[in-house]
């Protein structure tokens, strides 16, 4: 039995989570998924109801659950609030409250959607890689940092720092994820220039000994960027630091060309994770039954695989989504001329229907 905190958030978050709940309800009722749901508030909707984008009740509920399923946060009406009260702050605080240090960003391109990519279909069709990015340390957090006067001119500086233990824990996450996939980890660094990366590489080599079934390779970040565009299907799991992961994961996501299809997760040491689509609250299409719910339904599949050890259910959901795409159904964001265009709710219903096969 698993207990999940459901946080729809704002904008299309409400609509796409509603479709994901249909999938959970179906699997609970017909396939003994055994998932209990707790509902909570986050983002602008939480601010409107409680005065905070992350109410204490949501934090308490998160600590009592096995994982979080999140829609998205944000919207024009909250953009003028003080920074601490903005919807996005709720999300960042929740990540740090739960110590979600590993960000998992898959880039998956269903063969049926190969035309959506800007790359040639044969380069990307069937792409399935995952980037494991360190999320709470590295140059974004390192000290000292600042802008000051030196030698009569302004001087800006940041520090790329990692403790060995921080590299170890992200490394363990990457190897364990690889064990559930194709058993290959590529560690991306810049060890030819940066000492912090020399340490990164040494630690990766050290912990690889705990995972003899997983192959470890290394790549410099400049080459990794090139290879992602040239031959992305060579990768299984990429593990990298906060800064490199930030850049490479957006690049990898764009290989697929469809923001409405990509799930993501941020997980902690205990396997607790927050699972969410990579896209935002899309205020431009909110409330119009236009949003693609598949990234959120795939976030549920990711949760089942990586946090709840229920890979069979994850597979079932993925197969159902493939079925729906095979039948030619698309939401408007991923449609081309010969498709049958459906709305958010209809797409949710079609996935549930496909689960019955």
Catalytic residue, from 47, 246, 275, 333: name it: 246
Question: In 21-168, at which residue ranges do the beta strands (DSSP E only) sit?
Answer: 35-39, 67-72, 102-108, 128-134, 146-150, 153-157
Active site residue 209: no
Active site residue 140: yes
Closest approach, Cβ 114 to ligand NAD, in A, equals 19
Could you say whether residue 330 binds ligand NAD (CB under 6 A)? no
What is the pattern of x (binds ligand NAD, CB under 6 A) and - over residues 67-86?
A: -----xxxx-----------
- Of 131 and 221, nearer to ligand NAD (C-beta) is 131
Closest approach, Cβ 295 to ligand NAD, in A, equals 6
Which of 134, 166, 246, 333 touches ligand NAD by CB under 6 A? Answer: 333
* Cα–Cα distance for residue pair 269/246, rounded to 1 Å: 20
* Cα–Cα distance for residue pair 239/211, rounded to 1 Å: 15
Tell me which residue of 137, 81, 65 sits closest to 73, measured CA to CA: 81
Q: DSSP labels for 75-89?
A: -GGGTTS-GGGSHHH
* Cα–Cα distance for residue pair 129/233, rounded to 1 Å: 7
Active site residue 222: yes
* Cα–Cα distance for residue pair 332/351, rounded to 1 Å: 16
Residues 240/187, Cβ–Cβ less than 8 Å: yes
Tell me which residue of 28, 8, 3, 5 sits closest to 293, measured CA to CA: 8
Q: DSSP labels for 144-181?
A: S-EEEEETTEEEEE------HHHHHHHHHHHHHHHHTT
Closest approach, Cβ 2 to ligand NAD, in A, equals 23
Catalytic residue, from 48, 84, 222, 312: name it: 222
Binding to ligand NAD, residues 244-303 (CB under 6 A): 259-260, 276, 279-285, 291-292, 295
- Of 139 and 282, nearer to ligand NAD (C-beta) is 282
Active site residue 190: yes
Catalytic residue, from 140, 180, 183, 349: name it: 140
Active site residue 48: no
- The Cα angle at residue 184 between residues 175 and 186, in degrees rounded to 5: 85
**Residue ranges binding ligand NAD (CB under 6 A):** 12, 72-75, 88, 91, 259-260, 276, 279-285, 291-292, 295, 333
Q: Which residues are catalytic?
A: 140, 190, 222, 246, 250
């Amino acid at each position: 039995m698993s207990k999940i905190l459901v946080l729809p958030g704002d904008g299309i978050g409400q609509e796409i989570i509603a479709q994901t709940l249909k999938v959970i309800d179906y699997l609970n009722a017909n396939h003994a998924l055994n998932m209990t749901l707790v509902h909570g508030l986050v983002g602008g909707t939480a601010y409107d109801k409680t005065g905070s984008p992350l109410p204490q009740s949501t934090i308490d509920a998160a600590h009592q659950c096995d994982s979080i399923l999140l829609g998205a946060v944000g919207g024009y009406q909250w953009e003028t609030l003080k920074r601490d009260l903005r919807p996005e702050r709720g999300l960042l605080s929740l990540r740090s409250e739960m110590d979600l240090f590993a960000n998992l960003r898959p880039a998956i391109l269903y063969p049926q959607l190969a035309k959506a990519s800007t790359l040639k279909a044969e380069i990307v069709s069937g792409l399935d890689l995952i980037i494991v990015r360190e999320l709470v340390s590295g140059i974004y957090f390192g000290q000292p940092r600042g802008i000051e006067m030196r030698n009569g001119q302004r001087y800006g500086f940041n520090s790329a720092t990692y403790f060995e233990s921080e590299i170890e824990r992200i490394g363990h996450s990457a190897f364990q994820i690889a064990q559930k996939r194709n058993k290959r980890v590529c560690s991306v660094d810049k060890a030819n220039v940066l000492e912090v990366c020399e340490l990164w590489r040494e630690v990766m080599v050290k912990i690889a000994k705990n995972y003899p079934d997983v192959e470890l390779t290394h790549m410099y970040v400049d080459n990794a960027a090139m290879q992602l565009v040239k031959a992305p299907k060579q990768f299984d799991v990429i593990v990298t630091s906060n800064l490199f992961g930030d850049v490479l994961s957006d690049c990898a996501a764009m290989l697929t060309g469809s923001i409405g299809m990509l799930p993501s997760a941020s997980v902690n040491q205990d396997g607790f994770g927050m699972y969410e689509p990579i896209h935002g609250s899309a205020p431009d299409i909110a409330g119009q039954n236009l949003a693609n719910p598949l990234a959120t339904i795939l976030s549920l599949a990711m949760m089942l695989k990586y946090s709840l050890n229920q890979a069979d259910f994850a597979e079932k959901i993925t197969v159902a989504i493939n079925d729906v795409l095979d039948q030619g159904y698309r939401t408007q964001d991923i449609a081309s001329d010969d498709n049958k265009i459906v709305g958010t709710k209809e797409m949710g219903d079609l996935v549930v229907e496909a689960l019955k096969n």
